Amino acid sequence: MIITRTPLRISFGGGGTDLPSYYREFGGFVLSAAINKYVYITINKSFLPGFFLRYSENEHAQGWEQVRHPLLREALMLHEVPCPLEIVSIADVPAGTGLGSSGSFLVGLVHALYAYERKRVTAEVLAREAVEIEMNRLKEPVGKQDQYVAAYGGLLCQEYQPDDSVNVTVLRVSETALKELRDSLMLFFVGQTRNASVLLDDQRKRSERRDKAMLEGLHFVKQLGQEIRSVLEGGAIHEFGKLMHEHWLRKRGRSSGMTNDRVDELYDVARTRGRATGGKLVGAGGSGFLLLHTPDRKRLRAAMTDAGASEMEFSFDFDGSVVMMRNA
């Protein structure tokens, strides 16, 4: 039996510049952090013929081509994994909540397949293979940050080059500043789940036709992501909330559907009653989680609870995708 554990993520800045429609011309930059909420993949040899696949649905397929789940199908075909085999996926957080679950699922799956084949693999290979499956084979309108931060873990600076290469560096932040950052951030579930593909496809199309507003917005969030890196590495954690608020205002105007009345209401509550200095929706749609920065966790928790938003406590993950169990 093989069990992998792969972290979900929160994005601090630069989201959207990791799409090829943008970075192939302008270069992209994203700063994101892996968190201690995970996707778990279990692989075990089965005694019955075929592939037994258990996620939000149950599948029993006789061969690769019959697998309905696209990520599972492409990963099994790429690795030419023979049956009989059972694969089970469970997660700490539902899919579609803006925490990069599909990227984490795919990285964890690929990692489990390498472990099942008794092959060692680096974080870079895991990220690249996940990108190959999701972006190139399946033509999904997604970026690269989810796969990279899931594979590497930590607080990750990702520079996307026009030639499709990715430069990855760890955020250089002191232990004191790291603790201050963690203690100043809170996550609140605002309800519903969604598929970000429609919004990301809209961004891709507008970028490809050189939509001025879209490109200006993406230029801004890239620059802001770089400013956030400088602020955090300089230890000025108190400035982070202000930059997040700027990010929030610009991201809302970049694509329709980025927010809704309920999210706007909760953000206003957080700022006026909860003393949040800034925040952002994590992900590409008007649902999921609000990431908020505050000097007063108790006051923000009370205000958001009164408004009907549930807190999800979290910390940072520095391990990336790992094999937790490997039995012959």
* pLDDT value of residue 166: 97
pLDDT, average across residues 248-258: 63
* pLDDT value of residue 212: 78
| Structure-token match 């594979």, residue found | 151
Q: Which is higher by pLDDT, 2 or 47?
A: 2
Q: Are residues 297 and 258 in the same domain?
A: yes
Q: How far apart are CA 106 and CA 99, in angstroms?
A: 14
* The pLDDT of residue 113 is above 60: yes
* pLDDT value of residue 282: 84
Q: Are residues 125 and 192 in the same domain?
A: no
- What CATH code is carried by the domain that includes residue 306? 3.30.70.890
* pLDDT value of residue 192: 66
Q: How far apart are CA 147 and CA 165, in angstroms?
A: 14
* pLDDT value of residue 129: 98
Q: What is the pTM of this model?
A: 0.92
Q: Are residues 67 and 27 in the same domain?
A: yes
DSSP one-letter string for 3-43: EEEEEEEEEEE-TTTTSHHHHHHH-EEEEEEEEEEEEEEEE
What is the separation, in whole angstroms, between the first and last Cα of the chain?
7
Q: Are residues 127 and 25 in the same domain?
A: yes
Q: Give start and end residues of each alpha helix (H) in 37-174.
A: 70-79, 101-116, 123-131, 145-152
Confidence band, pLDDT 50/70/90 cuts, at residue 183: very high
* pLDDT value of residue 293: 97
- Could you tell me the residue range of the domain that residue 268 belongs to? 175-312
Q: Are residues 267 and 321 in the same domain?
A: no
Q: Are residues 106 and 37 in the same domain?
A: yes
pLDDT in tens, 187-232: 999 876 555 555 666 666 666 667 777 888 889 989 999 999 999 9
How many other CB atoms are found less than 10 A from the CB of residue 309?
A: 23
Tell me how far apart the 2 most distant CA atoms of the chain are, in Å.
59
pLDDT in tens, 116-164: 999 999 999 999 999 999 999 999 988 999 999 999 999 999 999 999 9
Domain count within the chain: 2
Q: How far apart are CA 5 and CA 108, in angstroms?
A: 6
3-state secondary structure of 127: helix
Q: Are residues 74 and 179 in the same domain?
A: no
Q: Are residues 162 and 206 in the same domain?
A: no
* The pLDDT of residue 178 is above 70: yes
* pLDDT value of residue 311: 96
Q: Are residues 158 and 98 in the same domain?
A: yes
Q: Are residues 242 and 288 in the same domain?
A: yes
Q: Are residues 250 and 273 in the same domain?
A: yes
Least confident piece of the model among 61-65, 156-160, 259-263:
259-263
Q: Are residues 115 and 257 in the same domain?
A: no
* The pLDDT of residue 2 is above 60: yes
Supply the mean pLDDT for the chain.
90
What amino acid is encoded at 198 in this protein?
A: V
3-state secondary structure of 60: strand
- What CATH code is carried by the domain that includes residue 119? 3.30.230.10
* The pLDDT of residue 257 is above 90: no
**b/e map 258-292, b = 16+ CB within 10 Å:** bbeebbeebbebbbeebbbbbbbbbbbbbbbbbbb
Confidence band, pLDDT 50/70/90 cuts, at residue 182: very high
Instruction: Give the E-state strand segments of the chain in sequence order.
Output: 2-13, 28-44, 51-54, 58-61, 85-91, 155-160, 166-170, 185-191, 278-281, 288-293, 310-312, 322-326
Angle, vertex CA 276, rays to CA 274 and CA 280, nearest 5: 125
